[in-house]
């Protein structure tokens, strides 16, 4: 099935989870007042030079904000946009996975994407075990029985991820919409005519796009405001998606069985395992790049 799409670069400004809203760092702001409670002179003012550079008498050294955990990855992504070398993109993604402590950590950074993927997986499983009509009834979409598959998928978007919300919710929604666009170019027929294999492909494509969009937005955030062009982001997204697609299909095939009856909680855990395993496989693939 086709996987081409148009990419306009990262759409979401992401902040790292350790950012403190008060001062933009992971540490409390150091006390900047003088011992008597008055404001200390700024560097270069009357008090400059009284102590160590940048400090005032009676104060300890300034506490530097911790480095951004993705600084190295974003630098490698910028090098990719400047050179088009796939090795730089691979290094950026590997650095991202290292900063999240591997696949499980990366998965925890996209909870809404895994929740939406779990909803799609539940639909796939219900169709395989109970039939299309019962599957639609579970999602209160029974009125769409016998309707075109793309129409059912579009209704599923509003059911699983309504417009608005957090950045991760927007990423999940876009991944689902983009997947529908890919499959809309194929003659799928009515929803109740879809095979389990087609539904599995739909699920794999949705997970692939969720992972790709999440990673590109995180490692490419600052590059968007620098020299990177939309074409750079499209090239990065296409390259990473090719790697990720294989990783997702490998993980899905070893973890997910559409004919297995699972509770919602079990399904969510199963899809979390799929995404985590996909990240691990992706990391292994990139080791050779």
Read off the pLDDT of residues 134-153 as tens digits, 9 standing for 90 and up: 999 988 999 998 899 999 99
Round to whole Å and give the CA distance between 80 and 90.
9
User: In this predicted model, which residue has the larger pLDDT, 288 or 166?
Assistant: 166
User: In this predicted model, which residue has the larger pLDDT, 86 or 38?
Assistant: 86
Task: Say what the pLDDT of residue 59 is.
Answer: 58
CA–CA distance from 110 to each of 141, 168, 185 (Å)?
26, 6, 28
Least confident of 36-50, 148-162, 272-286: 36-50
Task: Say what the pLDDT of residue 235 is.
Answer: 86
Round to whole Å and give the CA distance between 129 and 199.
13
Contact 118, 264 (CB under 8 A): yes
Task: Say what the pLDDT of residue 68 is.
Answer: 65
pLDDT greater than 70 at residue 157: yes
| Percent of residues, the chain, with pLDDT higher than 90 | 45
Rounded to two decimals, the pTM is 0.75
Round to whole Å and give the CA distance between 270 and 266.
6
Round to whole Å and give the CA distance between 253 and 274.
9
Round to whole Å and give the CA distance between 206 and 278.
13
| Percent of residues, the chain, with pLDDT higher than 70 | 74
Contact 245, 208 (CB under 8 A): yes
Task: Say what the pLDDT of residue 19 is.
Answer: 36
Average the pLDDT over 264-289 and give the result: 91
Least confident of 36-50, 87-101, 246-260: 36-50
CA–CA distance from 128 to each of 124, 214, 254, 287 (Å)?
6, 30, 17, 37
Average pLDDT across the chain, whole number: 78
Round to whole Å and give the CA distance between 172 and 157.
10
DSSP 3-state of 90: helix
Average the pLDDT over 37-43 and give the result: 39
pLDDT greater than 70 at residue 121: yes
Round to whole Å and give the CA distance between 73 and 80.
10
Task: Say what the pLDDT of residue 75 is.
Answer: 85
pLDDT-derived band at 252 (thresholds 50, 70, 90) equals: very high
Least confident of 33-47, 153-167, 170-184, 273-287: 33-47
Least confident of 2-6, 8-12, 252-256, 269-273: 2-6
Q: Could you write out the DSSP letters of every residue in 152-198? A: HHHHHHHHHS-SSS-HHHHHHHHHHHHHHHHHHTS---BGGG--HHH
Task: Say what the pLDDT of residue 227 is.
Answer: 63
For 170-199, write each residue's pLDDT tens digit. 999 999 999 999 998 887 889 999 988 999
Q: Could you write out the DSSP letters of every residue in 228-289? A: --HHHHHHHHHHHHHHHHHHHHHHHHHH--TTS---HHHHHHHHHHHHHHHHHHHHHHHTT-
b/e code 29-52 from CB counts within 10 Å (16+ = b):
eeeeeeeeeeebeeeeeeeeeeee
């Amino acid at each position: 099935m086709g996987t081409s799409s148009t990419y306009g670069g990262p759409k979401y400004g992401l902040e790292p989870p350790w950012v403190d809203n008060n001062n933009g760092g992971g540490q409390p702001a150091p006390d900047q007042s003088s011992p008597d409670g008055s404001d200390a002179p700024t560097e270069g003012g009357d008090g400059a030079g009284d102590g160590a550079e940048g400090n005032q008498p009676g104060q300890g050294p300034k506490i530097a904000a911790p480095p951004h955990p993705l600084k190295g990855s974003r630098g490698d992504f910028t090098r990719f946009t400047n050179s088009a070398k796939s090795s730089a993109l691979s290094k950026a993604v590997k650095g991202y996975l290292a900063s999240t402590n591997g696949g499980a950590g990366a998965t925890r950074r996209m909870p809404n994407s895994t929740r939406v993927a779990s909803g799609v997986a539940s639909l796939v499983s219900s169709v395989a075990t109970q039939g299309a009509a019962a599957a639609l009834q579970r999602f209160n979409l029974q009125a769409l029985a016998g309707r075109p598959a793309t129409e059912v998928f579009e209704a599923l978007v509003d059911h699983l991820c309504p417009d608005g919300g957090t950045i991760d919710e927007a990423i999940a929604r876009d991944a689902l919409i983009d997947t529908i666009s890919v499959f809309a170019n194929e003659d799928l027929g009515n929803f109740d005519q879809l095979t389990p294999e087609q539904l599995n492909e739909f699920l794999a494509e949705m997970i692939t796009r969720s992972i790709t969009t999440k990673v590109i937005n995180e490692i490419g955030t600052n590059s968007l405001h620098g020299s990177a062009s939309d074409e750079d982001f499209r090239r990065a997204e296409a390259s990473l998606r090719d790697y990720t697609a294989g990783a997702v299909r490998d993980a899905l095939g070893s973890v997910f069985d559409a004919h297995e009856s699972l509770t919602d909680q079990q399904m969510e855990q199963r899809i979390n395992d799929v995404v985590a395993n996909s990240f691990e496989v992706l990391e292994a693939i990139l080791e050779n790049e």
